[in-house]
Amino acid sequence: MADVAAPMPAAVEDRHAEAIAAHRRRRRLGPMFWIPAAWLVVLILAAAAAPWLGLAPPDEIDWMAIQAPPGVENHILGTDVLGRDILSRVLHGARVSLTVGFAAPAIGVGIGLALGLAAGYFRGWVDEVVGILIDAWLAIPGLAVLLLFSAVFGGSLSMVCLSLGLLFIPAAARITRAQTLSYANREFVLAARAMGASDARILLREVLPNIVWPLMAFVMIDIPIAIVVEGALSFLGLSVKAPTPSWGGMIAEGREHIEDSSWISLIPTAVMFVTVLSFNLAGDVIRRRFADTREAAL
Amino acid sequence: MNALTETRAHRPATEGFLEIRGLTVEHPLRGGRKVHAVTDLDLSIAKGETLGLVGESGCGKSSAARAILQLPRPTRGSVRLDGEELTALSGGALRRARRRFQMIFQDPIASLNPRRTVAEIVSAPLEIAGEGDARARRETVEEMLELVGLDPRHAMDRRPHEFSGGQCQRISIARALVLRPDLLVCDEPVSALDVSIQAQILNLLADLKARFGLTMLFISHDLAVVKNVSDRVAVMHLGRLCEEAGAEALYSDPAHPYTRVLLSAAPRPDPDAIPKPLPMAEGEPPSPIDPPSGCRFRTRCPRAQALCAAEVPPVVPRGAGHGVACHFPLD
Ligand code: SF4
């Protein structure tokens, strides 16, 4: 280990070149990332642009094509029992699923992050209060709360996001607290305090940058969970109200015709399956890479 | 005021730049017991002077350093820097006062945030102190990096893990000195480094000390390192001061049995020159949770007598600026 700084001797240059090459190698994410990522990007763009794609509106009834199978004129993926275009409904339903998929973890992780940071950094009574809050929260049966919330406030997308988001708080708070604890006593935090940094600055500038990535890995797991749970809720009719299409709702509407018009249920099921699988696959790759870079940094 | 004060008569009557009086650090444990990390420590450092603080690991020297920097505040005692009582400051006043005293840590890599660039790390103290705008700060950081022997063009936008331990310690020094503090506390700044690099870092510290007129408290378990950098040396054992003297005097004329033990344990270039090693009872130092009564060295001291268990030895003057806390000092 040469400690000569400027200019760097050749040996050190070499070492750097090697490290950079190794870094690049790790950078390559491979098809297990890019294929799912491509699906997700296409889905997100199509869902965002759904009203402007020239499709029939999701609630427009085509009397000429009731329960039309996929491939008929004007209806690439066919129509449902009311003659509504399935492709249009899948894309509009994707708006609901994706909104919940991103918003619910964001709410849960946002609140959990604040609680976990405070508990892990200040310790003492703050830690105890947060611990009691989380334990109490976990003691409430989550599914029952979800069903209750949905039954009482059901029909509004923001309420679905909020009630689902609340379920992610305890785990996010615990992960954040554990990570914060492990960083709060590091020497660089002590060094920041020795410089006269305020608690807020230490939390935001010293601790937070170190726990963002483990939390992102956690968010990557939560997104597909939120999509699946929203699907289940809308299947039960407890998510957004009827005319607004949602994947779970579409599956439910088609279940009585599964024998003669199976596509009505199968298409939204397949889209949801592929979407959830894509989030999981891409998330795995990101998590593994994150673990690699962490090892390399240590 | 204890006896050591008299020995300081040779110095100007004004108090030292850093005056530590009765510094005590205790960590409470369950069941009403406590760890006596530092007990009644008196130290004084004149402006521009370097005081070396030595002792085995666990002797309380790092606790003392942190208590001096109010990280956290000591259990008892007074710490005055340039006449200002640091233990009386709190909140924002203490944070603002911190720019005058900075610290360098033992583990150069752990003391740098792995997720921030060198430029961010070194400019953080400037940001906190509200110095200059972003451009002025960047220039100051570049100058500082050059002063510690790093190439700013190469270093600024890299993260700590891209540097060796010695380079990280240079970054750490740049960060500590970027606000031009008056007092620099170095807690084992080279003991985590390769021997070949230790000398480079020590030379750098000596250069910067001269350049900025720093007052330094230099903590180490390694007497050889301390001797080279210090004007005066204080020896600590189990939370108490044993002996304090000019660097030369301490090494040539150790009066405390513990100092002699430390010296005979230190490697020397000329093995024949070792004074007869003083036999020390085997074993670990006693626990700071339940330190021995009287002299805390008595359980291992070859000269211990009944008086040593009964009374805490006061610090007694022995010569100019030389004080020793022992009932039966060596000749
Ligand atoms: S006071 Fe007694 S026990 Fe302590 S160092 Fe001196 S001789 Fe040894």
Listed by start position, the domains of chain A span 32-297
Report CA(B92)–ligand 1 centroid distance (Å).
44
Whose alpha carbon is nearest atom 1 of ligand 1?
A: B326
Measured between its terminal Cα atoms, the distance across chain A in Å is 16
Residue in B278, B295, B296, B318 to alter for ligand 1 test, most ligand atoms within 8 A of Cβ: B295
pLDDT at A145: 78
Answer yes or no: is the C-beta of B303 below 6 A from any ligand 1 atom.
Answer: yes
In chain B, residues under CATH classification 3.40.50.300 are 18-100+181-194+212-267+274-324
pLDDT at B78: 93
Residue B261 is given by DSSP the state H
Answer yes or no: is the C-beta of B278 below 6 A from any ligand 1 atom.
Answer: no
Q: How confident is the model at residue B11 (pLDDT cuts 50, 70, 90)?
A: very low
Q: Report residues of chain A scoring pLDDT below 50.
A: 1-11, 298
- Two tokens at B9? 């008569």
Residue B73 CB: number of other CB atoms within 10 A?
18
CA distance B270 to chain A (A): 29
Q: Is the dihedral of CA A19, A21, A22, A23 positive or negative?
A: positive
Answer yes or no: is the C-beta of B292 below 6 A from any ligand 1 atom.
Answer: no
pLDDT at B275: 52
- Two tokens at A138? 């976990």
Question: Residue A6, SS3?
Answer: coil
| Residue B229 reports pLDDT greater than 60 | yes
pLDDT at B5: 44
| 3-class DSSP string for A57-87 | CCCCCCCCCCCCCCCECCECCCECCCCCEHH
Question: Residue A219, SS3?
Answer: helix
Interface of B with A in 140-199 (CB under 8 A): 149-151, 154-155, 159, 161-162, 164-167, 170, 172, 175, 179, 194, 196-197
CA distance A22 to chain B (A): 13
Region B29-51: mean pLDDT is: 91
Q: Which residue of A has its CA nearest to B70?
A: A194
**Shortest CB distance from B128 goes to which of A16, A201, A296?**
A201
Report CA(B254)–ligand 1 centroid distance (Å).
13
| Residue B13 reports pLDDT greater than 50 | no
Strands, sheet with B84-85, edge to edge from the N-terminal-most edge strand: B34-45, B18-28, B76-81, B84-85
pLDDT at B202: 93
Closest atom of ligand 1 relative to the B329 alpha carbon: 6
Answer yes or no: is the C-beta of B291 below 6 A from any ligand 1 atom.
Answer: no
Please tell me if residue A194 touches chain B, with a CB cutoff of 8 Å.
Answer: yes
Answer yes or no: is the C-beta of B327 below 6 A from any ligand 1 atom.
Answer: yes
Measured between beta carbons, the chain B residues lying within 8 angstroms of A124 are none
Contacts of A64 by beta carbon, 8 Å cutoff, 6+ apart: A83
**Which CATH code is given to the segment(s) A32-297?**
1.10.3720.10
Q: Which of B295, B257, B299 is nearest to B276 (CA)?
A: B257
Report CA(B330)–ligand 1 centroid distance (Å).
10
Would you state the CATH architecture of domain B18-100+181-194+212-267+274-324?
3-Layer(aba) Sandwich (3.40)
Q: What are phi and psi of B283, to 5 degrees?
A: 110, 170
Instruction: Measure Cα distances from B102 to A97, A200, B65, B106, B218 in Å.
Output: 53, 20, 11, 14, 12
Question: Residue B48, SS3?
Answer: coil
CA distance B7 to chain A (A): 33
Greater confidence, B207 or B286? B207
Interface of A with B in 134-193 (CB under 8 A): 186-188, 190-193
Residue A288 CB: number of other CB atoms within 10 A?
14
CA distance A28 to chain B (A): 21
Answer yes or no: is the C-beta of B324 below 6 A from any ligand 1 atom.
Answer: no
Please tell me if residue B107 touches chain A, with a CB cutoff of 8 Å.
Answer: yes
Measured between beta carbons, the chain B residues lying within 8 angstroms of A201 are 128
pLDDT at A159: 86
Whole-angstrom Cα distance, residue B129 to residue B89?
A: 17
Whole-angstrom Cα distance, residue A133 to residue A138?
A: 9
Please tell me if residue B81 touches chain A, with a CB cutoff of 8 Å.
Answer: no
Amino acid at B208: L
Q: Are A134 and A75 in contact (CB under 8 A)?
A: no
Give the count of Cβ contacts less than 8 A between chain A and B.
95
Region B24-37: mean pLDDT is: 89
Greater confidence, B94 or B285? B94
pLDDT at B240: 93
How many residues would you count in chain A?
298
The model's pLDDT over B92-143, given as tens digits with 9 standing for 90+, comes to: 899 989 999 999 998 988 999 999 999 999 999 999 998 889 999 999 999 9
Amino acid at A5: A
Q: How confident is the model at residue B274 (pLDDT cuts 50, 70, 90)?
A: very low
Alpha helices in chain B (DSSP H): 4-7, 61-68, 91-97, 118-129, 134-147, 152-155, 165-177, 195-212, 223-229, 247-252, 257-265, 306-310
Mean pLDDT rounded to a whole number for chain B: 87
Residue A6 and residue B107: Cβ atoms within 8 Å?
no
Query: For the whole model, what pTM was predicted?
Result: 0.80
CA distance B73 to chain A (A): 12
Whole-angstrom Cα distance, residue B71 to residue A249?
A: 59
Contacts of B279 by beta carbon, 8 Å cutoff, 6+ apart: B302
| Residue B71 reports pLDDT greater than 80 | yes
Annotate chain A with DSSP letters as a single string. -----SSPPHHHHHHHHHHHHHHHHHH---HHHHHHHHHHHHHHHHHHHGGGSSPPPTT---TT-TTPPTTBTTBTT-B-TT--BHHHHHHHHHHHHHHHHHHHHHHHHHHHHHHHHHHHHH-HHHHHHHHHHHHHHHHS-HHHHHHHHHHHHTB-HHHHHHHHHHHHHHHHHHHHHHHHHHHHTSHHHHHHHHTT--HHHIIIIIIHHHHHHHHHHHHHHHHHHHHHHHHHHHHTT-SB-TTS--HHHHHHHHGGGTTT-THHHHHHHHHHHHHHHHHHHHHHHHHHHHHHHHHHH-
Q: How confident is the model at residue B177 (pLDDT cuts 50, 70, 90)?
A: very high
Q: Which of A210, A205, A209, A208 is nearest to A195 (CA)?
A: A205
| Residue B285 reports pLDDT greater than 90 | no
Whole-angstrom Cα distance, residue A199 to residue A208?
A: 12
Answer yes or no: is the C-beta of B326 below 6 A from any ligand 1 atom.
Answer: yes
